[in-house]
Amino acid sequence: MKSWSTPAPPTVPSRPDRLRLHDTATGRTRHPGNDAQRASLYVCGITPYDATHLGHASTYVAFDLLHRYWRAAGLEVAYVQNVTDVDDPLLERAEATGVDWRALAEEQTDLFRADMAALEVLAPDHYVGATEAVGLVVDAVETMLAAGRAYRVPGGDGEPDGDVYFDVRAAQSATDWRLGQVSAMGPDEMAAVFPERGGDPDRPGKRDPLDPLLWRVHREGEPAWDGRSLGSGRPGWHIECSVISRAHLPAPFTVQGGGSDLRFPHHEFSAAHATAVDGLPLAHTYAHTGMVALDGEKMSKSLGNLELVSRLRARGVEPVAVRAAILAHHYRSDWEWSEQVLTDAQARVARWRAALDGPHAAAGVAVLDAVHAALSDDLDAPRALEALDAWAAGTLPGLAEAAADPVPVVDVVAALLGLRLR
Ligand code: ZN
């Protein structure tokens, strides 16, 4: 699937990789596990409808900071993102609004790409739709069935024969993966969120209520692909990200990213499926972004309380201000979008721009050191923006020394924070 294009970040003096990143699986903040030359990143993409709300945008901007940090440290970065372009919620929305699901997915993916480009989110190297990965899914599910780590559920009660489920218990006894090891959730929490996030604990014939779907055999009126020995049908959700990441990234890759609502079941089972196929962990580190609320409620498609990047752009809001508003919040915190947040960000951008005409416009080294130190500490963007405020106010330490070694601040800010002020 075609990606989007973003201008290459300006070249600035490189700084060493001192990153410490919070890992959900271990609960520790530590180096994410890349080597000195390269790093790899997989961020779960959107299901293409209601694109691109501020919750989405804040997730992709957060992982863009990571991407930029690594590049600024001279690392080669391999970045993959998917699009869940066939899934129950997409089909339900298409049905409810009377449009073809393919047309909806295409239109919304286009909108997403335009929003990402406007927000200066560096494009992934591979942008892959679930519908493009069906052959890989079939390979993986066949392997798991042959190894006894998946099973077919018999039909009945209007359901056809042959849906394939992942066998959580069998996978735990045969591999190093343990239920809850990625999400760091206990049994009660997992049981509570599973049905809210696409799980079907009550499906008759399952061996364990938490066993997730791998392959859904064809139903009348639903899209279907050739599943070879599985029969015609379509992929479950988690397996899509397992196979797409394995196809394009090392095993394990450095960071698996996504919103905190993906901890369980999505990231737990994407990891479990990958390990069930080849015995290796999915990733070194699992990083999750906080949820963005609007008017006190989590911004979500099901609640319908969304602020869209495209709507802000249509209103004439500059994308750089939207990005600055997002970066004013730590990526792991839950926060609330409001007009005030936007107004504050616009005022800040104006102050930074004014300072580009001031006496410290070439004090890029001082800004770079301060921003790099903030980002090294679990991508602390709010602290990085405070350093920019201090630079604009002329109070950032090191401004005088930096004048002797001129580096444009405008380039540093564009390279590390993706804020294009000019
Ligand atoms: Zn995913």
What separation in Å is there between the alpha carbon of 194 and the centre of ligand 1?
15
Quote the CA–CA distance of 272 and 208 in Å, as a whole number.
15
pLDDT digits (tens, 9 = 90+) for 124-148: 999 999 999 999 999 999 999 999 9
- State how far the alpha carbon of 122 is from the alpha carbons of 15, 18, 40, 271, 381, in Å: 19, 21, 14, 25, 17
What separation in Å is there between the alpha carbon of 174 and the centre of ligand 1?
24
What separation in Å is there between the alpha carbon of 344 and the centre of ligand 1?
33
What separation in Å is there between the alpha carbon of 390 and the centre of ligand 1?
39
- Which residue reads 């391999």 in tokens? 78
* pLDDT higher than threshold 70 for residue 301: no
What separation in Å is there between the alpha carbon of 401 and the centre of ligand 1?
46
pLDDT digits (tens, 9 = 90+) for 45-54: 999 998 899 9
Quote the CA–CA distance of 63 and 289 in Å, as a whole number.
9
Residues 6+ apart with CB under 8 A from 284: 32, 33, 34, 252, 253, 254, 255
Distance in Å from the first CA to the final CA of the chain? 31
Between 415 and 304, whose confidence is greater?
415
What separation in Å is there between the alpha carbon of 244 and the centre of ligand 1?
9
Positive or negative: CA dihedral 42, 43, 47, 51: negative
What separation in Å is there between the alpha carbon of 258 and the centre of ligand 1?
8
Quote the CA–CA distance of 301 and 47 in Å, as a whole number.
11
Q: Comparing C-alpha atoms, which of 379, 371, 378 is closest to residue 414?
A: 371
* pLDDT higher than threshold 80 for residue 283: yes
What separation in Å is there between the alpha carbon of 255 and the centre of ligand 1?
12
State the pLDDT at residue 296: 73
